[in-house]
Amino acid sequence: MAPMPLPKRAEGHDRPAAIIAPSILSSDFARLADECKRMVDLGADWLHVDVMDGHFVPNLTLGAPIVASLRRHTAAFLDCHLMVTNPEQWVAEFAKAGADMYTFHLEAAAGPGADDWHQLSPDAMNASVEDLCHGVRNAGMNVGIALRPKTPAELVAPYVAAGLVDMVLIMTVEPGFGGQSFMPVAAAKAAVLRAKFPDLNIQVDGGLAPNTIERAAQAGANVIVAGSSIFGAPNPAGVIAQLRGAVQAAAASGKPAH
């Protein structure tokens, strides 16, 4: 089965269409299916699912069984972010569960530790990462690669250039827990990738809210993950619209990412 198509770049825009993906980590887990429906009804494009194994990051959250349960209640695009030590282990399970996007960490795919980006090169592909990209796509899911805040954006470029990656996720907080403060320096990595790859879907996750969205939008992001700022808002639909509006305005401004 082919992966679900992703948004394309329209003429006159510097990036693909805006996508707002509320993180269900901030939802009421006792009402998860209802919360997901509420987000879609309020204008969300995707549902972002944070998967943590308690090893790659110091938290334990949702897994493939939850994704499978959600799939029975929603047709929404399920954007799964695997913060796990062995991402190759879970490809088949998440494909079977109905995930649409399988985003693994470059650092995890390169080796067993969070700092294994040091062994990667901006000029060559790592065989394990390359194999995992093929495996995810062959399983019928879109391929996402995530970068922790300290991992240089240049290290993912060879995989994007080779056509192996559908989306790059730039973490603007240390992965593991919701509600952290946005890191502008990490968001600036989006500008590096946007300048090289205008058609790439670039996701930013961590501390995104109405008061930080401009930095991410101006850097070139088009896929915005937000948790507490949407779920905790008195008017979640208004926040979703504001996040989308900032990305759309930046995309059509004609200004280079910076």
Give residue-wise pLDDT tens across range 84-125: 999 999 999 999 999 999 999 999 998 766 566 777 888 889
Catalytic entry in 14, 45, 50, 166: 50
The pLDDT value given to residue 110? 85
The pLDDT value given to residue 137? 97
Catalytic residue at 28? no
Average pLDDT over residues 254-258: 49
Residue 115 assigned ligand-binding role: no
For 190-213, the pLDDT digits (tens) are 999 999 999 999 999 988 999 999
Distance, in Å, from the CA atom of 197 to the CA atom of 256, rounded to the nearest integer, reads 12
Residue 8 CB neighbours (<10 A): 10
Specify the amino acid at residue 112. P
- pLDDT band for position 257 (cuts 50, 70, 90): very low
Tokens of 83: 């913060």
Residue 50 assigned ligand-binding role: yes
Domain boundaries, the chain: 19-251
Residue 176 assigned ligand-binding role: yes
Q: Looking at domain 19-251, does it have CATH number 3.20.20.70?
A: yes
The pLDDT value given to residue 123? 84
Catalytic entry in 14, 45, 79, 205: 205
Contacts 24+ apart (CB under 8 A), 87-90: 87/132, 88/128, 88/131, 88/132, 88/135, 90/51, 90/64
Catalytic residue at 205? yes
Tokens of 89: 């282990």
Averaged pLDDT of the chain:
92
Residue 118 CB neighbours (<10 A): 11
Residue 227 assigned ligand-binding role: yes
Residue 258 assigned ligand-binding role: no
Phi first, then psi: what are they for 123, rounded to 5°?
-110, -5
- In terms of Cβ atoms closer than 10 Å to its own Cβ (0-12, 13-18, 19+), residue 152 is middle
- CB distance 138 to 106 below 8 Å: no
